Copies of this chain bind each other. A is one copy, B any other.
Amino acid sequence: MTSADLPAYCLDLCRRARTAARRLAAAPSAAKDRWLRHAADAVERRTPLLLEANARDVAGADEHGLNAAAVDRLRLTPARLAGMAASLREVAALADPVGEVREVRLRPNGLEVRKVGVPLGVLLFIYESRPNVTADAAALCVKSGNAVLLRGGREARHSNTALVELLREALTACDLPADAVQYVATPDREAVGRLLRLPEYIDLVIPRGGEGLIRRVAEEARMPVLKHYKGNCHVYVEGSADLDMAERILLNGKCQRPGVCNATESLLVDAAVADVFLPRAVAALRAKGVEVRGCAETCRLAPDAVPATEEDFAAEFLDLIVSIKVVADLDEAVEWIARYGSGHTEAIVTRDLAAARRFTTLVDSSAVLVNASTRFNDGGELGLGAEIGISTDKFHARGPCGLLELTSYKYIVYGDGHVRG
């Protein structure tokens, strides 16, 4: 394809998606779930073919300059494909948000008003690396009644196109429109920019990747973007805290999976317990290989800490590094979080009910936890089912976004010839 063909290519993708979306919006749950199970079976049956496609991507990894960790993310194995099939079946088992009656009101004049879930329409999902994201995203988008345009990384294109072909064949086999799942296959880097300027065809963009990608998409897009900026998540150890619990929650949040958005990045310690808690907390962190960057008081109490900069306090490290600040009281902790936090996830460790209530009221983050690790801000852990991302916006959806968050609603109103007086 020459770049002169790109506008027509993008428009064709969009038109097919819009047509498919209209058919899919009225598809029964049973058909969508049949598709998910059918696709899961196909992933298992065609494991050799998918591994072969993936091998071509892995062979080309050098050419894309991938490091060892990136190659590992790119690689499919029989176990990973089995996990992909299991994920597809899990989405089939979730409740369908489309057609779901969310509210019913009988008005005094006898009108019956129902608020009913509907799909958003056409979604554009932009992502990097791991091919299993292809199947997960398609599953969530189609189950919520939306057509999706998938744009994965170039380094995974053989794996992704093989997967998408399989998903489309399964759609056809289940009497659903194949164009409900399309892959933006052109290598032309202009394709995304062009799609982002077609708000009449694309209802929502979901970029998944680094902050740079998300900012660029948000800047260019003429339609809404589900934004996930960063997670600078705090744990605040309040003066009454059970310090053993505080240490467990801190270590779990920081060390259990340091590269994810709900990992703990910053520790706030109440001055009342700093002299007792900080030396042991810093020792425990250091024993786990965590680099500690602290305020002056932290460095005085725990000489293993190095001085933190302003940037450290605002950073999402995604690594075995933590920033620590001693605060005078709960109000200073709240102020600090308002200033340096990213509105993602904050936790308090406390035994004081009033402190817990005040912290959860005043802290404005997508999840505010009391006596629990920041790692619990996750769709599965909060009971929303599989998630397509975690929104750091307050508009439309906040926090983990699952099937419900990929839908809108309409009002369906029944009368008996009602007119307004």
Interface residue A154 (Cβ < 8 Å from any Cβ of B): no
Interface size bucket, A side?
35 or more
Interface of A is mostly: mixed
User: Does A366 interact with chain B (Cβ within 8 Å)?
Assistant: yes
Q: Check B256–A118 contact: CB distance below 8 A.
A: no
Number of copies of this chain in the oligomer?
2
Chain B nearest CB, measured from A60 CB (Å): 36
Query: How far does the alpha carbon of A418 sit from the alpha carbon of B419 in the complex, in Å?
Result: 56
Interface residues of A in 15-68 (CB under 8 A from B): 22, 25-26
A329 interface residue (CB < 8 Å to B): no
Instruction: Let me know if A372 is at the binding interface, CB within 8 A.
Output: yes
| Chain B residues, Cβ within 8 Å of A186 | none
Does B419 contact A371, Cβ atoms closer than 8 Å? no
**A357-386 at interface with B (beta carbon < 8 Å):** 360-362, 364-373, 375-377, 381-383
**A410 on the B face (CB < 8 A):** yes
Give the residue name and chain of the B residue nearest to A419 (CB).
B252
- Do B111 and A420 have beta carbons less than 8 Å apart? no
Q: Is the CB of A377 within 8 A of B249?
A: no
Other A-B contacts than A366-B411, A372-B419, 18 sampled, CB-CB below 8 A, are: A99-B361, A105-B382, A111-B381, A113-B382, A118-B364, A120-B395, A248-B419, A251-B419, A252-B419, A253-B419, A256-B420, A369-B412, A371-B416, A371-B418, A373-B420, A375-B419, A394-B408, A399-B411
Q: Pick 5 A–B contacts, CB within 8 A, sort by A.
A: A25-B364, A26-B362, A372-B413, A376-B418, A377-B413
